[in-house]
A and B are shown apart, each in its own frame.
Chain A
């Protein structure tokens, strides 16, 4: 087995950072485990089991079932009868597409421990993996009736509604998330994007656009580096000002806002200008930024 010249302590720090950051680097985790940390696993101490769990999930994600099963066996020996290990076994069945058996495993976990939230969430993931989005939505709403404050579940529900095209319910989910984290500019951006997509709504097309504009503003205020919010601001402002139901006064204000957003974007691009990339072409293409009917 080849082994790279990496410092195993650095690798351990990196895995710990990824664990805490909640990011998804499955292939890198597998590589680091396979070529470095596996040989030092006895030096990890208590952290070893968390790393093994991380390796199991990463292995299932990148379809390296041999590595995942190896770590799963080690975890099973250390913690026999543990519900957390049983959940990992269920996840392995999911990766093998044996969805019914996975559902049985999760049901048995819930029978044994009513308060276990992760098993219920995995059931939703099983339904999603099978492509049964409507059933997944139903299961997730049942879950949220019990565990109302779970931010991740609200995010997942929003994503499922977006998959179904149900924008108003997705907007409701994002509103819940904004309520829990009012300083997170990414939630505002996503909410504004959902509202922007609802512009064809016969009930309140222009209202949705104005709501989108104000939420893009808030996102840009919280994080001036959020270029996505600035683009959204520019587009929503041009839409609002070119709509027929807009008064002259508001039109002037929104156009000023649009020019400000344009200037900010140009500034951002000029700051990270390199020899290869010239920002001037971008300013030319701004004029052609618009919403068209063509798909």
Chain B
């Protein structure tokens, strides 16, 4: 929900910014037509531009998400060698974990009973 508001704020800010720019251009043209001296932008256009800039910045910050910590070592505080030392491109599959799978068939091996039968016969 917060993302929807942030998106709306961003959109409103951008539209308002364009509107302020357009009205400033219109004001300039009006001054030229009525042959008045162009001194400065009218205050309301300036205020609108500034407010829309702030609104856009607020919207962007919420859309972009959290900042990452600047200190490089803080991210690693809670990580152990298990995760950092993991090498996915070098995974080998010939480990004992396969015995835990339901598809595993243990290799046939001679049991002690076989040996005893061989001796007695």
Contacts and interface: CB of A to CB of B under 8 A. Distances in A.
B82 to A, nearest CB: 8
Contacts of A189: 81
A184 interface: yes
A152 B89 CA distance: 8
Contacts of B85: 155, 186, 190
Contact of A64 (B79, B82, B90, B103): B103
B101 interface: yes
Contacts, number: 88
Interface in B78-95: 78-94
Nearest to A54: B88
A23 B83 CA distance: 5
B100 A62 contact: yes
Per DSSP, chain B at the interface is loop
Contact of A155 (B87, B93, B94): B87
A222 B102 CA distance: 44
B32 interface: no
B111 interface: no
Per DSSP, chain A at the interface is helix
A165 to B, nearest CB: 19
B116 interface: no
B84 A129 contact: no
A186 B73 CA distance: 10
A115 interface: no
Contact of B73 (A118, A124, A155, A185): A185
Interface of A: 21-24, 26-27, 57, 60-66, 91, 94-95, 97, 118, 121-122, 124-125, 128-130, 152, 155-156, 183-186, 189-190, 222-223, 225
